[in-house]
């Protein structure tokens, strides 16, 4: 079993890293994160022109991009469109996404109820009209289309037919919104058992994508820590020679490699529709989320006083790491499901 990426995928990685680094340096990323919307409105057509939104991409192709958009956060609804919504949509909607004409997201959580992806919901549809309230919708304020989880299936609703209320989040480049549907025209996408299976696969893809993002975040935090440890001197020597700093970098490296191994396994399982996909994605998301938080915390500490300042970019990555770790429940929830697979 070979989990290595192809030569073409590694070339895609190099191009993606170069593009993101040139477009989002630390200053530009901070400007967008602190802006009114938290998104780069001009980048979506560019993603389409580069083929990042093409339907022909395999999940392993997308895996490279997810990792790189963690290494250098992409302030655009890429995760919500490609991982959460697109797999539930038909070919025509897929063409609109590929052309850059459509941004989509998944709306599942409801206020006052358990809010995990597979939890029961009350949103109802009658006569092709949908009623209900969804909360914590990723990129809800900038989406053109919602894939809505209802009690009897999945439905597509145009954003123009919904009332959207943006909410602030810890990560300014990945915001959420509350969305109210009042007799909104809804197009059925899947129902019954088909919808349950599809939603489970959407969760697997989302977990794998977030694990890959977490690997990218952790790698960037480690890169920043190592670079600072080499250039910052204390008592006439680079601080990296002191165990208090070098051990932090070593510990981050070990956790990062563990997370990367699981994330790549999860990506392969999703791409191949392997029977171990559910377990792999649960394990990868749990470990990568905590590894990203661990990497950022140690990188901030390794930078000393400057690491805690608002001006330094590390807090941006720390916030993204916390967003990833908290998505769809804490690490312990995913670990409990893995344990159930092994013990039940």
Angle at 70 between CA 221 and CA 261, to 5 degrees: 80
Do 217 and 147 lie in a common domain?
A: no
Asked whether residue 2 is assigned to any structural domain, the reply reads: no
Signed CA dihedral, 310, 315, 317, 319: sign only: negative
Q: Say if residue 257 is in the same domain as residue 159.
A: no
Q: Are residues 73 and 163 both part of a single domain?
A: no
Please give the pLDDT value at position 2.
61
Q: Which domain does 112 fall in, by range?
A: 104-190
Q: Is 1 part of a structural domain of the chain?
A: no
Residue 136 lies in a domain: yes
Per-residue model confidence (pLDDT) at position 158? 97
Only one residue has tokens 């981050």, namely: 252
Residues 314 and 220 in one domain: yes
- Does the residue 88 lie in any domain? yes
Residue 94 lies in a domain: yes
Query: Are both 130 and 253 inside the same structural domain?
Result: no
Could you say which of 156, 190, 224 is where a domain stops?
Answer: 190
Residue 261 lies in a domain: yes
| Token representation of residue 218 | 């952790």
| Domain C-terminal end among 169, 190, 211 | 190
Q: Give the CATH number for residue 31.
A: 1.10.540.10
| Residue 172, domain member (yes or no) | yes
How far apart are alpha carbons 185 and 181 in whole angstroms? 9
Q: Rounded to whole angstroms, how far apart are CA atoms 74 and 68?
A: 9
Residue 254 lies in a domain: yes
**Residues 208 and 321 occupy one common structural domain:** yes
The CATH number for 134's domain is 2.40.110.10
Secondary element (H or E) of residue 218: helix 192-231
Produce one character per residue of 65-95: b if its CB has 16 or more CB atoms within 10 Å, e if not: bbbbbbbbbbbbbbbbbbbbbbbbbeeebbe
Beta carbons of 148 and 130 less than 8 angstroms apart: yes
**DSSP, residue by residue, 251-309:** HHHHHHHHHHHHHHHHHHHHHHT-TTHHHHHHHHHHHHHHHHHHHHHHHHHHTGGGGGS
Please indicate, yes or no, whether residues 339 and 200 belong to a single structural domain of this protein. yes
- Indicate whether 185 and 304 sit together in one domain: no
One pLDDT digit (tens) per residue for the chain, 344 residues: 566 899 999 999 999 999 999 999 999 999 999 999 999 999 999 999 999 999 999 999 999 999 999 999 999 999 999 999 999 999 999 999 999 999 999 999 999 988 899 999 999 999 999 999 999 999 999 999 999 999 999 999 999 999 999 998 899 999 999 999 999 999 999 999 999 999 999 999 999 999 999 999 999 999 999 998 888 767 878 777 677 888 899 999 999 999 999 999 999 999 999 999 999 999 999 999 999 999 999 999 998 888 888 889 999 999 999 999 999 999 999 999 999 988 87
248-268 core/surface letters (b: 16 or more CB in 10 A; e: else): bbeebbebbeebbebbbbbbb
How many domains is the chain partitioned into structurally? 3
- Residue 49 per-residue DSSP state: H
Domain of residue 242, CATH code: 1.20.140.10
Same domain (yes/no): 176, 208: no
Q: Are residues 85 and 211 in the same domain?
A: no
**Residues 94 and 113 occupy one common structural domain:** no
Among 47, 66, 98, the domain-final residue is 98
237 and 268 together in one domain: yes
The span from the CA of 149 to the CA of 190, in Å, is: 10
């Amino acid at each position: 079993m070979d989990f290595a990426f192809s030569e073409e995928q590694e070339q895609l990685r190099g191009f993606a890293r170069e593009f993101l680094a040139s477009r989002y340096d630390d200053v530009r990323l901070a400007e967008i994160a602190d802006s009114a919307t938290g998104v780069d409105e001009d980048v979506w057509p560019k993603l389409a022109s580069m083929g990042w939104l093409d339907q022909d991409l395999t999940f392993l192709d997308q895996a490279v991009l997810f990792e790189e958009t963690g290494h250098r956060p992409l302030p655009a609804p890429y995760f919500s469109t490609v991982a959460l919504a697109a797999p539930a949509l038909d070919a025509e909607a897929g063409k609109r996404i590929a052309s850059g004409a459509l941004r989509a997201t998944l709306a599942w959580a409801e206020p006052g109820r358990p809010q995990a992806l597979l939890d029961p919901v009350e949103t109802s549809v009658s006569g092709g009209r949908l009623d209900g309230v969804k909360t914590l919708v990723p990129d809800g304020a900038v989406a053109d289309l919602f894939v809505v989880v209802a009690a009897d299936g999945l439905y597509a609703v145009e954003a123009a037919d919904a009332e959207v209320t943006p909410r602030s989040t810890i990560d300014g480049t990945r915001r959420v919104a509350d969305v109210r549907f009042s007799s909104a025209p809804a197009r059925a996408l899947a129902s019954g058992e088909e919808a349950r299976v599809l939603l489970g696969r959407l969760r697997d893809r989302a977990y794998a994508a977030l694990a890959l993002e977490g690997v990218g975040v952790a790698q960037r935090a480690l890169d920043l820590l190592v670079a600072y440890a080499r250039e910052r001197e204390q008592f006439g020597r680079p601080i990296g020679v002191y165990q208090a700093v070098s051990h932090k970098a070593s510990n981050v490296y070990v956790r990062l490699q563990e997370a990367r191994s699981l994330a790549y396994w999860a990506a392969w399982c999703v791409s191949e529709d392997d029977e171990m996909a559910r377990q792999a994605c649960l394990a990868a998301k749990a470990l990568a989320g905590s590894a990203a938080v661990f990497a950022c915390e140690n990188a901030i500490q390794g930078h000393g006083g400057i690491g805690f300042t608002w001006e330094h970019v590390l807090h941006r990555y720390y916030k993204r790491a916390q967003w990833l770790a908290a998505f769809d429940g804490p690490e312990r929830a995913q670990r409990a499901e893995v344990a159930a697979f092994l013990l039940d």
